[in-house]
Structure 1
């Protein structure tokens, strides 16, 4: 009886914590919908056009560097007010390719400089700070190698710095290859939720929000006063965002300005990106939460800032809930626990409803039809829950201080369904370390599905079906992408 109570107590605790975070998402939905009742006033370009430095942090970007630089050089902005810094920490042949492209752009009259550090200290954060120290611009626009800014990007966003306390303006990410595979469709679906409901909801409710690492513009003074780019976490963008806002700077999110980018098409690339984002968020939470609660920013802002920075902990509780759901099914079948407990557990379905509404609102804002949502949402949930194991490991690494390098997400220049990445030199054709554990979990949740028929109890069947599907998808892509032919 003790082991049964222990399992149910831990199961209830995990569901309760997930529910608390879902309540936070409910408030963001409310804030987002309320903001849509108002018509945003689009500011106009100031009469004196400010000088802008565009920073392009690179590390071994052979396949996309030409696309990136040419895209930036088409920005509709006066050449005498534009500096382009190519912050190149590359260690491969892309250095030569980049140098050649830059020389061509210089001939066309662009103020573009190839900055190569002697030592790659601090990875991306170190490169950005190195460039910042010599940047000419009053404003700093940043684009990662997989982004393709629209020609009017600067002219649309610079006007939002119409108040001296505006420190950063962020655009929404778009996707140039979201239809490439199920993996890219799922990623786009999840990111669209963040870049519509969440970012807009935070910004309009005057809560802490974050620069997303790229496709945004900073006021140089804001970065400097906040302490500059620091590399003691893997999410230097999130870290700087909180330091800047705690200094009194305000951020603006512009949902209707979209900056297209390439989504990771390979499973190991997706995993490394998820690991960096998750672990970095935990590292930043350890660094900044005390500072949030010491600051004079109001209780609501403190609570939602804490939920924001600690959001990655949810992965652990999703994983615990998933693992314990099978023994909970067994415990329920033996009728040793009052049915009242299991009836009360249905209350936590409200959390699932909130998350569903969150993504419905995001889909409506993107003008997607209900059929698309009905196809993608279950798959998104399935893979997200399956990734909870991988991401839980990242949470624990961040929590217990295991340091790791900044591992870049390899870019492929994949924009067409007919393209593949068979010859890409950056692809690691190896099974991920978690492959066999994830395959074991695939079997485990198959057992959960079978148990529903054995015990004639189908209450958890949809949950186990999603977990079975999610781990099956991860296992399939991990195996497929480890082969030579992709």
Structure 2
């Protein structure tokens, strides 16, 4: 073999090794999930309820802010022990909607409309600003698209009987899971995170994370961990690790459901994925050195935490395997099926099978009557779309590692209970065609590789290239279709205004 061929195989091996290692970590979390105890803590604060502050970070949420306020007014908790902070950074008519809503409310609950001089720190800055202005010892946080359960506080506060618990995170559920294929695969992936992964980490006493919303913090924990910081796009993951480094625990309750909306446009989905992926990579840069050097954390927990912080690197690994699969296919043909290449292919396929078992457990939890054929179809679509997202998310990871800053871009909310139409949402913008063109080219490339494999009897990569061709193609087609619909809608609106 030539030097270049050895280099190609080496990078191919490294990427597959990372994916396989990641799948083994998920398998261990599945083992922990299967064995976890479901005992509940004794009720706490049965006589005297502590003061709780509900923080609602808001930025241009005209479609959902009233629904959010209404749901928070339904908390089954002493109203004189409850404060609701509406942390409003809006620049549109959301502020007026909030003011009119509050003026019409008659409640014993303290409702505070908080406006900052500027948006320094985005969401993290708003949360910190609000924390300085409350006397409550416990702070619950809900994003604008959530509809918290009236019993949320009574069911989470009992977790604080353990003085080491700094935050309680609850399980997200989905108001619009069945809207279309995008929401179905989002729910498919999130359900695995909020069942197997989070519960497995909690059972193994490994590091886990507050998910930014639908959780409640002990104020003392936030302060001891250094407060909300805005040097990453995922302030929730950042604070979670700083709190756990200080010895605080994160309690996770799988049985408490917190319903919310899933993004229903490709632009909204991609902006959310970019923020989550880049933020996680930024947190890995920030916390991996301390994690690796720490002597107070067990080796197993450190390994789990390393893969937790580096989970966004999976997209780079997928992109590498995808790009290198074409020269690897040539090497395999040139040297008459070298055993190393075939072995790596087997390892990669094993990774997908392990992850299949992992996701199937979460799927059955969410869909007890779901059949195997439906699961397999959803899993393959999820894999394909995730592979298609690898270029977009890899760019986010590279920006994080390069130290390139970017603004906190909120995910547009729709109020799916009011209308299923997204086209009239004024917060929606078109996706940049430059990235769509790259995805189209990648779809065509892997389609050509697929056809080549079939006609030359190189079947080893046919399945993989099929997933890639469909994944990049579906993402690009959906983006083009939604861009076209937006353009048509805007033209119609302009014409009607004349």
Give me the TM-score of the superposition, normalised by structure 1: 0.96
Within 5 Å, give how 1:253-332 maps onto structure 2.
253-295=252-294, 296-332=296-332
| Distance of 1:209 and 1:73 partners within structure 2 | 30
CA distance in 2, matches of 1:422, 1:33: 43
Superposed CA deviations along residues 410-436 of structure 1, whole A, max 9, x for unmatched, are 1111247x7211211101034454110
CA 1:153–1:450 in 2, change beyond 3 Å: closer, same or farther? same
Rounded Cα–Cα distance in structure 2 between residues aligned with 1:122 and 1:344: 44
String of CA shifts for 1:204-251, please: whole Å, max 9, x gaps.
100000000000000011001111000011100000000001111111
Q: Which residue of 1 aligns with 2:169?
A: 170
What's 1:458 paired with?
Answer: 459
Work out whether residues 279 and 400 of structure 2, in 8 Å CA contact, stay in contact via their aligned partners in 1. Answer: yes
Partner of 1:375: 377
Partner in structure 2 of residue 426 of structure 1:
427
> For 2:329 and 2:344, how far apart are their aligned partners in 1?
15
Distance change in 2, residues 1:318/1:63 (3 Å): same
Give the distance between the partners of 1:368 and 1:10, measured in 2 at CA: 42
Contact 2:20 2:347 (C-alpha < 8 Å) held by counterparts: no
Secondary structure at 1:434's aligned position in 2? helix
Quick check: 2:86–2:114 contact (8 Å CA) kept in 1?
A: yes
Note the 1:468-479 alignment, pairs <5 A.
468-479=469-480
8 A contact 2:16–2:347 mirrored in 1? no
Equivalent residue of 1:254, what SS? strand
Other structure's SS at 1:19 match: helix
Task: Give the number of aligned pairs.
Answer: 482
Q: CA deviation at 1:457?
A: 2.0
**Aligned equivalents of 1:29, 1:235: Cα separation in 2:** 25
Q: Which residue of 1 aligns with 2:243?
A: 244
Provide the rounded CA distance (Å) in 2 between the counterparts of 1:433 and 1:72: 42
Where does the alignment leave 5 or more consecutive residues of structure 1 unmatched? none
Query: Is the aligned partner of 1:397 residue 2:407?
Result: no
Structure 1 pair 378–368 and aligned structure 2 pair: CA distance change class (3 A) = farther
Q: Which residue of 2 aligns with 1:4?
A: 5
User: 1:102 and 2:84 equivalent?
Assistant: no
Shift in Å at residue 338 of structure 1?
2.8
Aligned Cα root-mean-square deviation (Å): 1.5
Runs (4+) of structure 1 exceeding 6 A deviation are: none
Indicate which of 387, 405, 408 corresponds to 1:385. 387
Instruction: Give 1:375 shift.
Output: 2.2
How far did 1:340 drift? 5.4
| 8 Å contact kept, 2:328–2:341 | no
Q: Which runs of no fewer than 5 residues in structure 2 stay unpaired?
A: 490-498
Structure-2 separation of matches of 1:344 and 1:398: 29
- CA distance in structure 1 between the aligned counterparts of 2:278 and 2:306, rounded to whole angstroms: 16
Q: Distance in 2 between matches of 1:217 and 1:343?
A: 47
Task: Quote the Cα distance in structure 2 between the aligned partners of 1:396 and 1:271.
Answer: 16
User: How far off is 1:108 after superposition?
Assistant: 2.8
Q: For the Cα contact (< 8 Å) 1:431–1:479, is it kept in 2?
A: no
Mapped to 1, the partners of 2:327 and 2:407 lie a distance apart of 38
Structure 1 distance, partners of 2:369, 2:473, is: 27
* 1:32 shift after superposition: 0.5
- Inter-CA distance 50–142: structure 2 relative to 1 (3 Å threshold): same
- Mapped to 2, the partners of 1:434 and 1:345 lie a distance apart of 29
Deviations 1:352-386 (A, max 9, x none): 22111110111122225124312211100000011
Report the counterpart of residue 155 of structure 1 in structure 2: 154
Q: CA deviation at 1:110?
A: 2.5
CA contact (8 A) 2:16 2:344 kept: no
Partner Cα separation in structure 1 for residue 104 and residue 230 of structure 2: 33
Q: Comparing 438-447 with 302-311, which one deviates more in the overlay?
A: 302-311
Task: State how 1:128-143 maps to structure 2 within 5 Å.
Answer: 128-143=127-142
Q: Secondary structure at the match of 1:480?
A: helix
Cα deviation for residue 337 of structure 1 reads 5.7
Q: Is residue 121 of structure 1 aligned with residue 123 of structure 2?
A: no
Structure 2 CA distance for aligned equivalents of residues 398 and 358 of structure 1: 28
TM-score with structure 2 setting the length: 0.94
Task: Provide closer, same or farther for how the CA distance between residues 259 and 169 of structure 1 changes in structure 2, counting only shifts above 3 A.
Answer: same
